[in-house]
Amino acid sequence: MTDADPTAREGAAQTMQDVASSLGVSVSTVSLALRGNPVVSEATRARVQAEALRLGYVYNRSAANLRTKRRHLVGFVVPDVANPFVAESALGLQAAMSEGSQFVVLANTHEDLAVQTGIIRELAEERAAGLVLIPAIGTGPDELDALRATQMPAVIMNRHLPGDRFPYVGADDEAVVDIACDHLFGVHASRTVAYFGGIDDAVPHVLRRARFSSNVRAAGLVEAMEWGVPTRPNSDSAYEVASRLIAEGTRPPEAVVCHSDMIAIGVLKALNDAGIPPAECRVVGIDGIRLASMTTPGLTTVSVHAPSLGRLAGELLLHGTGDDETVRSLVPQLVVRESCGCRT
């Protein structure tokens, strides 16, 4: 492809200086030409570009950035990349950033605060343009202070921390719960209901549970408290907890809304194992990950559009709104499949 001069090549990386002297012009000219600055003549630009190509020159963006103090990478700091919701968000974030020709650096905290702190420090040393953070469980004022101290723009995602003063991107928790409840309580007229899974005192969990309970009261239904239990944010934990409940003889409620699709997938598996059909226990997930269409029964879910959330976070980071504390979210959408008892 690049038809590089092998003799010029072996001397390792070429610099602007190299192409300048090879052409008998100054580095300024090369720099200007390569950037396409109209101040250099078309003819010169062409010569410079040809020579750069011939020498196999490749622009050193880091050097340029050191000079201009521009940054070119953002971090996506998450508890678990292999969580589909996170991966789908990463997709959106990455798309947004690549439009600003920024890179997104992926970092896993594994829900470990020390790891998270270390990663944030490293991003600061890297002079990242900012970061999107899904806080590890237990993230509190100390961690947030440390983050603020780095002076990097940051947006918090998915797990809203009370009073953190950082821009936040996440689902509209109450709308999400309302949509799930409307379908389950209204369309399906379930009587005993529960909100299943999620991390115990994480804000979204608290918010959603509270909303759920108030919806239940408003509808005059009964909340199956034994099934209103927290789990870790993955299918395995959900499966384990739900299976145990069933094995212990705790009768599943007529309807359960799950804190996430991954949790719902675990619940569905437990229900399938026990031979309990949607008609007996209707389940609705939250998130709308791609996988939700592949379960049996198909998972009815309230989609919050993970890729869009990621994209939103990226845009917030790049173009920054003046004020902190902004909550942005898309309007959630019910995706009906079979797990709620529709279409069976």
Other CB atoms within 10 Å distance of the CB of residue 228: 18
Rounded to whole angstroms, the Cα distance separating 211 from 22 reads 70
Other CB atoms within 10 Å distance of the CB of residue 332: 24
Name the phi and psi angles at 184, rounded to 5: -70, -45
> Please, are residues 97 and 275 in contact by the beta-carbon 8 Å criterion?
no
Rounded to whole angstroms, the Cα distance separating 205 from 312 reads 22
Q: Which is nearer to DNA, 123 or 133 (CB)?
A: 123
Interactions with DNA, residue window 197-226 (CB under 7 A): none
103 touches which of DNA, a second copy, none (CB within 5 to 8 A by kind)? a second copy
> Please, are residues 296 and 272 in contact by the beta-carbon 8 Å criterion?
yes
Please identify which residue in 19, 20, 96, 107 interacts with a second copy, judged by CB under 8 A: 107
27 touches which of DNA, a second copy, none (CB within 5 to 8 A by kind)? DNA
Give me the amino acid identity at 284.
V
Name the strand (E) or helix (H) holding 190: none
List of residues 6+ apart from 49 with CB closer than 8 A: 33, 34
With H, G, I as helix, E, B as strand and everything else as coil, classify residue 341: coil
Interactions with DNA, residue window 64-103 (CB under 7 A): 64, 66-69
- Contact map string, positions 252 to 271, toward a second copy, x by CB under 8 A: -------------xx-xx--
Q: Minimal distance in Å, beta carbon 130 to a second copy?
A: 15
| 274 forms part of the interface with DNA (CB under 7 A) | no
Two tokens, residue 271: 């229900």
| 99 forms part of the interface with a second copy (CB under 8 A) | no
28 touches which of DNA, a second copy, none (CB within 5 to 8 A by kind)? DNA
> Please, are residues 155 and 99 in contact by the beta-carbon 8 Å criterion?
no
Question: Binding residues for a second copy, per CB under 8 A?
Answer: 1-2, 4, 13, 56, 58-63, 65-66, 72-73, 76, 80-84, 87-88, 90-91, 94-95, 98, 101, 103-108, 121-122, 124-127, 142, 145-146, 149-151, 235-236, 239, 265-266, 268-269, 272-273, 290-291, 293-296
Question: Binding residues for DNA, per CB under 7 A?
Answer: 13, 15-17, 24-29, 31-32, 34-35, 38-41, 43-44, 57-60, 63-64, 66-69
